[in-house]
Structure 1
Amino acid sequence: MLSKKAQYALKATGYLATRFNGGPVQISEISERKKIPLKFLENILLELRKAGVLESKKGKGGGYYLLESPEKVSLAKIIRIVDGPISMLPCVSLHFYKKCADCEEDVCKINQVFIETRDATIGVLEHKTLNDIIEGVAKK
């Protein structure tokens, strides 16, 4: 299940995507418009800035903005930054692999099902971008 932190990260970056090339957006505006608690949002945006998805400008006219166009930022990237693995089991994670304590991977049939699940999920999330979030909102 997607964490609340990841949901907020997607909402915030989606909002910034709607304002791409419009200059920095104040964190208070994002918080108010997307109904995200300010302190929680500050931590999320800082994490995304450190990971190179966002940049910030201080002072008058300051705020956060996307470094790349919304079409280039995958949803998988955002989720991995704030939540870590996308896979449901650590033993099938591509970027955060960890062997299960009680598992014999060479004979385990459970991980085979979750490898398929991981691949299907990643297949969607790697190809969906912030632009898809914008278009989804625009259609409503």
Structure 2
Amino acid sequence: MLSMKAKYALRAMSELARAGEARVQAHELAQRCRAPGKFLETILVDLRIAGFVDSRRGQHGGHALARSPEQIMIGDLIRVIDGPLAPVRCASVTAYEPCRDCPDPDACALRALMRESRDALSRVLDRRSLHDFANAEVEASAAAAMSPVAVHP
């Protein structure tokens, strides 16, 4: 399950992608993402350390993407914030740990099923760029604005 921290990170990164080369201050980004300011600041630190965000202090400071949005994959962002995509550690590619109660991980049907789900999730998230995600968000907002509003009697 995606954490709130990861949701805020994806919203913030989408906003930074749409801002282009312009820097966005943390408090403005928090408002746009409807995220708690201090919490978003810690998320931005994690994203900066991972090399996704460039942060500068001062009057002309703020946050911007450190790479082009086409080079940033959604799966990588989620891994930075939430860790491995696998629903259980024994199915993880990067953080494998056998289950303590499993007599034979290689013959475990549950592990095989969880690896298959992790692979499917990875196929989607590792092929979707931040650029694609930000554009899809804009398109979804535009479509929602154009849809007729239901009138209740």
Q: Report runs of 4+ in structure 1 exceeding 3 Å deviation.
A: none
Whether 1:88 and 2:87 are equivalent positions in the alignment is: yes
| Cα deviation digits, residues 22-50 of structure 1 (max 9, x gap) | 2x110011001110000100100001101
Aligned to 2:100: 101
**Which letter maps to 1:4?**
M
Q: Which residue does 1:17 correspond to in 2?
A: 17
Report SS of the residue matched to 2:105.
coil
> TM-score normalized by structure 1?
0.96
Count of aligned pairs: 139
SS in 1 for 2:28: helix
- Structure 1 residue 2 corresponds to structure 2 residue 2: yes
- Alignment-derived partner of residue 28 in structure 1: 27
Alpha-carbon distance in structure 2 between the residues aligned to 1:28 and 1:40: 11
Aligned to 1:134: 134
Specify the structure having the higher radius of gyration (Cα): 2
Residue 50 (structure 1) aligns with = 49
| Structure 1 unmatched runs, 5+ | none
Give the Cα separation in 2 of the matches to 1:132 and 1:61.
28
Cα drift, residue 7 of structure 1: 0.5
Using the alignment, how far apart are the partners of 1:20 and 1:94 within structure 2? 33
TM-score between both structures, scaled by the size of structure 2: 0.88
Unaligned stretches of 5+ residues in structure 2: 143-153
Residue in structure 2 matched with residue 113 of structure 1 by the alignment: 113
Q: Which amino acid aligns with 2:134?
A: I
Question: In structure 2, what is the equivalent of residue 76 of structure 1?
Answer: 75
